[in-house]
Structure formats: C-alpha cells, structure tokens
Amino acid sequence: MKNNSRFSLDRLRQPMLIFAHDLIMVPVAWLGSYWVRFNLSVIPEDYLARAVQVLPLVVVIQALAFYIFGMYRGVWRFASLPDLVRILKAVALGSVVIIVVLSLLYRLQQTPRSIALLYPLLLMIFLSGPRFLYRWSRDHKLNLKTGKRVLIVGAGQAGEMLVRDLLRKQGHDHVPVAFVDDKPRRQGQDLHGVPVVGSCDDLPAVVKRLDIELIMLAVPSARAAQMRHIVELCEQCEVPFQTVPPLEALISGQVSINELRNVSIEDVLGRDPVTLDWEGIRRGLTGKTILVTGAGGSIGSELCRQIAGLEPAHLVLMENSEYNLYELEMELGRKFPDVRLTASLGDVRDAATVEQLFAQQKPDVVFHAAAYKHVPMLEDQVREAVNNNVQGTRTVALAADRHGCSEFLLISTDKAVNPSNVMGTSKRVAEIFCQNLSAHSKTRFITVRFGNVLGSAGSVVPLFRKQIREGGPVTVTHADMERYFMTIPEAAQLILQSAVLGQGGEIFVLDMGEPVKIQYLAEQMIRLSGKEPNVDIDIVCTGLRPGEKLYEELFHEQEELEPTLHEKILLARHRQVNWDELTKILDEIESACAAFDSPRLLELITGLVPENRIASSGSDVS
C-alpha cells in the first residue's frame, strides 16, 4: 500500500510543480506587461492599483485556459512543437477572455490598450522558455558527464535518432562529437548541436583530428557495396566500430536504434534488399497445408519461419534430426502460436514413412529441402549421397504426385551445374527427375538453384568464426577460390517467390550477384574480429579437397537463361529426357543402393549427367 501511495505521489508531483510554475508566470507576465508599457520605469499608481485589483481574475481565467488545452499532457523532458502549439492556444484564449471581461467590467479604464499584445507575448516567453531550456540542458548533458568520443557515419534519419538517444539518456557513456555523411547538402550542418564535418572518405582524417574512440555506423539502408567501402575505411582508423540494426528490423519495431552491435560479415557481403510480390506469395500459400522436408536445416528452418508468417492452414515439418526438429517446433510455437504445426520425425528415404505422412496430412504444397550437401565427405560415400539426394527426392516427389499436391519445389545448388563431385551430380539427377516428372503429373514440379548461403550449417562462415575464436589458423583451400553468397532469409524469400512464378518443369536460378573470393572472406572476418590477417591470425592454404572446384557456376551453357517477372530470379531452359529410359535407370539406381554397389551407382548417375567432370563410363540418355 505504501508503494502504491508513493507511486501516485510521484506521478502527481511533476504536473503540480509545472502548474505552480505556470500560475506564477501569469502575474509576472501581467505586471511585467505594465512595466514594459511604461518604458521599464515606475508604473503610475492608478494603473498599478487596477492591475493588482484584477490580477486574481486574470490568474483564474488563464488557469482555466491552461486546463482546457491540456497544458500538462506534455513532459518538459520532451518539450516539442505540439507543446508550443498548446501554450499558444491557451495564452491566446486566456488573453482574449481577459480583455473582454475587463472591457465589460471596467471599460478598460486604467488598462492600457497595449497590454492586449504585451501580456500574451511575455506569457508565451515565460511559459515556453523554461520548458525548452530544460530539454536543451538535458539533451546536451549539462551535468558535465564524460565518455567515449563517438563519430557517427550517416547524418540521415537513423543518425539523427541515434545522436538524440545518445544525448538524452543518462546511462550512456558515449559523447557524440561529429558526423560524416556523403550527401553534399548535409556538409556544414549540425544535428542537435553535433556538426557534420566531412564525407565518409574523410573518416581516417576526422578520427585522428578529433581523437575519436568509437565509430557508430548509422546507415541501415546502405547497399552492400557502400557498406564494404565504409567498413574498409573504418578498418584504416584502427578504432572500434559498431552499427545500428538493419532497416527492416527498425521499421518492424523488433529493435531500437540504440541497440548497436558489431559489424558482421553478413553486413559486408549482404546484398541489396529483395523486393517480393508478397501479395502473390500469400495467395499461393495462405490457408494451405505446407510440407517442408529437411525442416531443421538452415534453409528448411528459415523457410518454415517465412511460411509461418504467411498464415498457412497447417505447417508440417519433416526432419530426421530429433534435436533440430524439437528446437524448430519450440521456436515456431513460441513465435507463431496461432499456426497449426505438425512435427514429423522421419527420413525422406523411408517410403513407408513418406506415404503415411502424405496420407495423413494431405499437403497442398511441398518444399523439398532435405539433402546431403558436404562435398568432400560424400565423395567416398556415393551410396549415401545418391540414396538421400536422388532416391529421397524421388520418393517424396512421387508421393506428391500420387496425393495430388499442387506444387512441389526442389531446392537445388549451383554445384549441380557441370558437377565435378558426387554431391553435385546427385543433385543434378534430382533436378532431371523433377523437371521431367512435371510433364507426366498434375503437380507442378519446380526447381530453385542457388549458391552458398551465409552462416548455413557446415558452411565456411561458421568454420572461420570457430577458427578465429580459437586463435587460428584460418584454413582456405585455395587463394583463388570463389563462391557466390546470399543470406539465408534472402534465399528463403526467393524460393517462396519462385513457387509462385513456376508453372511446372522450370529451373529457377537465383541471381547471386558477384562471386566472392574465399581468401577475401577470411581476411574480412579476421578484421571484423578486431585482429589483423597474417599478423594476429594466420591464413593457411590447404589445397583443394576431393570434388571441389575453384569456381562455381549457376547454369549450364545449354540452359539458355531467360528473365522472369522478378529481377532476382532467372529461368534456365531444361533439357528433355526420355521418360521410360529415365525411369528404368532410376529403378537400377534403387537396386544398386539396396546392394550397396557404389561403382555401379557412380556409373549410373554420371551417365545421366553427361556434362559431369567425374571420370565415368555411362550412357547419355539426355
């Protein structure tokens, strides 16, 4: 009870103090207007007597005007234009009523006409001045607090929000010193008293001249190339640097502007934001039963998150890792409590399990993300690669056909193009099967092919992070090796877009931008950790592993890429295969898998993919 009483008193104290201040300002302004009228000298006795006589009436009228216009809704700490407008309205109404009442009562005798202008003018100054002076003093920390000297990159909306937050909050130990910004019109300006002293290219010189201790990047909408340039400049300054959250996170309200974090490799290698036809995607997926195989993997789990936000009638998760399935089910249940979820522990190679799942859940759309993808490991395990990537795909695809699914989307890889390894060849066989099955089914079979995704399980980025944490060395297979990269959310979103674009039988190739040298990736990750490549942490070239290529390709030269309605998605014209011959070979693959006959499996899959770069003797059925 005592705590509640104290809370109530605390809430009442500030408005009461402000009200008392404003009431005191009324007689000061009223009598002050007489003093100004008489040239700051002695006020004649009869005029002063009338001024004092009507003062109680003036105070009551003006107090009522304050109340009518809600003068005590605002907080002095955040005094702004709406507060100024309320003060102006209250003073204007009070002044008009006062003059009218005095005119009716005394015919304005012993009341100079100039009081009608002087009184509201002085009262406006006395009411608004202290409010804005108080806010200015708080924003500029007149408590003489010191902290790290901060340079902010970007004097746009995000920079303004950031500097305002830094100046306002008492808990911060950062002092904003200056901005840099590339827009010429902002040069020489200041935001909340913090000047814009140059462009981004001036970063190293400004940091040295102003003794900057920390750089804050307030450019959440910067393109990837711009971000790389800014990061390179920051690295030259040899002081720590942090960034505000991405623009989409700020807009959605997930984070606030002051939740700074270290710059990540995703910021440096990330790509320009993807614009999607969300209306079309919703029409294709909302209210439907969606099955995702390999749901616990990097791409599969992100697909599930994106799909859950589209309000499906039922989301079915199929995964053979018990832990991954449990983690994903818990996450989705927490974030999307209204979405009906079914977590199915099973393997796509198990035909009985797949058949039972389709019969019970009756999915409308299938996203097939289940696959083995580790290139060197699969080189010596041909049977497992083919059994999972080919037989597993065939099992799920045929179930989708039998049960009348509207769409089946196969998630493929750039390693399926001119494959030089078992993994890529097995994925290419899966592509060939789905493309050609589409012509013999009412289900639309669509393939989406893309390169590496940043941070996916088993990829190079988590490996480099682990090696950097352990003090190195960071291992790169070859100094000239290049790979395409995109973020996991972007890949998932473009997969959803492809599902809407496809009519059946297509291979959609995602625009991966420019390839990135793995050596550059390693160097950037070391620098972002605050260390110097080959000084603090060594980079060691270990040589190409079995099945690896220096450069990956996104399409075969005979596939004739064509544009689609989405600028980031291209269409590769696929090659027809004799269906009866293809079915016969796949049946042989099934028998060879059952017999663990790896040499025969290698012969069969390389025969189906004549452009492969694995030595084999197989027949060409294309």
**Residue in the block written with tokens 């750039």:** 414
Task: Kindly state the percentage of the chain with pLDDT values over 70.
Answer: 79
Edge-to-edge strand list for the sheet holding 407-413:
341-345, 314-319, 289-293, 365-368, 407-413, 444-450, 507-510, 569-572, 562-563
Longest dimension (CA), the chain: 120
Find the mean pLDDT for residues 380-391.
94
The two tokens of residue 287 are 């209210």
Helix axes 45-68, 2-37, angle to 10 degrees: 140
Find the mean pLDDT for residues 287-308.
93
Q: How high is the pLDDT of residue 261?
A: 65
Q: How high is the pLDDT of residue 455?
A: 53
Asked, colleague to colleague, whether 148-263 and 278-608 share their fold, the answer is yes
- For 41, phi and psi rounded to 5 degrees? -120, -165
Assign 251 a pLDDT band (cuts: 50, 70, 90): very low
DSSP 404: T
Q: How high is the pLDDT of residue 449?
A: 83
Cα–Cα distance between 98 and 77 in angstroms, integer?
31
pLDDT of 527 strictly over 90: no
Among 104-118, 220-234, 553-567, the least confident range: 553-567
- Which candidate, 270, 328, 323, 275, places its Cα nearest to that of 304? 328
Helix axes 115-139, 157-168, angle to 10 degrees: 90
Q: How high is the pLDDT of residue 262?
A: 65
Radius of gyration over alpha carbons of the chain, in Å? 35
H or E stretch at 525: helix 518-528
pLDDT of 581 strictly over 90: yes
Which CATH fold topology does 148-263 show?
Rossmann fold (3.40.50)
pLDDT of 317 strictly over 90: yes
CA-to-CA dists, residue 606 to 424, 590, 619, angstroms: 11, 15, 8
Q: What is the per-residue burial (b if ≥16 Cβ within 10 Å, else e) of 324-360?
A: bbeebbeebeeebeebebebbebbbbebebbeebbee
Cα–Cα distance between 436 and 620 in angstroms, integer?
16
Cα–Cα distance between 547 and 612 in angstroms, integer?
11
- Contact, 435 vs 428, CB < 8 A? no
pLDDT of 329 strictly over 90: yes
H or E stretch at 450: strand 444-450
Cα–Cα distance between 620 and 290 in angstroms, integer?
36
In this predicted model, which residue has the larger pLDDT, 456 or 100?
Answer: 100
Assign 535 a pLDDT band (cuts: 50, 70, 90): confident
Three-state secondary structure along 576-587? CCCHHHHHHHHH
| Dihedral angle computed from the Cα positions of residues 364, 370, 371 and 372, in that order, rounded to the nearest 10 degrees | 180
Q: What is the per-residue burial (b if ≥16 Cβ within 10 Å, else e) of 609-618?
A: bebbebebeb
Q: How high is the pLDDT of residue 610?
A: 82
The two tokens of residue 326 are 């449990």
Find the mean pLDDT for residues 73-96.
72
Q: How high is the pLDDT of residue 173?
A: 74
Cα–Cα distance between 442 and 400 in angstroms, integer?
10
Find the mean pLDDT for residues 56-74.
80
Classify 620 as helix, strand or coil. coil
CA-to-CA dists, residue 524 to 208, 448, 469, angstroms: 23, 30, 14
Q: How high is the pLDDT of residue 3?
A: 46
H or E stretch at 445: strand 444-450
Assign 564 a pLDDT band (cuts: 50, 70, 90): low
Helices (H), 108-178: 115-139, 157-168
CATH number of 278-608: 3.40.50.720
Cα–Cα distance between 495 and 448 in angstroms, integer?
7
In tens, the pLDDT along 145-175 reads 567 888 999 888 888 888 877 777 655 578 8
Assign 2 a pLDDT band (cuts: 50, 70, 90): very low
In tens, the pLDDT along 479-515 reads 777 776 667 777 788 888 888 787 887 788 766 666 7
Domain extents in the chain: 2-139, 148-263, 278-608
Q: How high is the pLDDT of residue 242?
A: 81
**Residue in the block written with tokens 């209250």:** 90
Q: How many CB atoms lie within 10 A of CB 64?
A: 14
Q: How many CB atoms lie within 10 A of CB 182?
A: 18
- Contact, 392 vs 434, CB < 8 A? no
In tens, the pLDDT along 434-481 reads 989 998 999 999 988 877 666 555 567 777 778 888 887 888 877 777
Assign 621 a pLDDT band (cuts: 50, 70, 90): very low
Find the mean pLDDT for residues 390-395.
96
In this predicted model, which residue has the larger pLDDT, 340 or 457?
Answer: 340
- Contact, 261 vs 243, CB < 8 A? yes
DSSP 151: E
Is the pTM higher than 0.75? no
Q: What is the mean pLDDT of the chain?
A: 80
Q: Which residues make beta-bridge pairs with 387?
A: none
pLDDT of 131 strictly over 50: yes
The two tokens of residue 161 are 């929000």
pLDDT of 599 strictly over 90: yes
Among 189-203, 236-250, 472-486, the least confident range: 236-250
Assign 133 a pLDDT band (cuts: 50, 70, 90): confident
Cα–Cα distance between 555 and 416 in angstroms, integer?
9
Q: How high is the pLDDT of residue 12?
A: 42
Assign 110 a pLDDT band (cuts: 50, 70, 90): confident
Q: How many CB atoms lie within 10 A of CB 542?
A: 10
Among 14-18, 109-113, 292-296, the least confident range: 14-18
Q: How many CB atoms lie within 10 A of CB 266?
A: 17
Q: How high is the pLDDT of residue 445?
A: 93
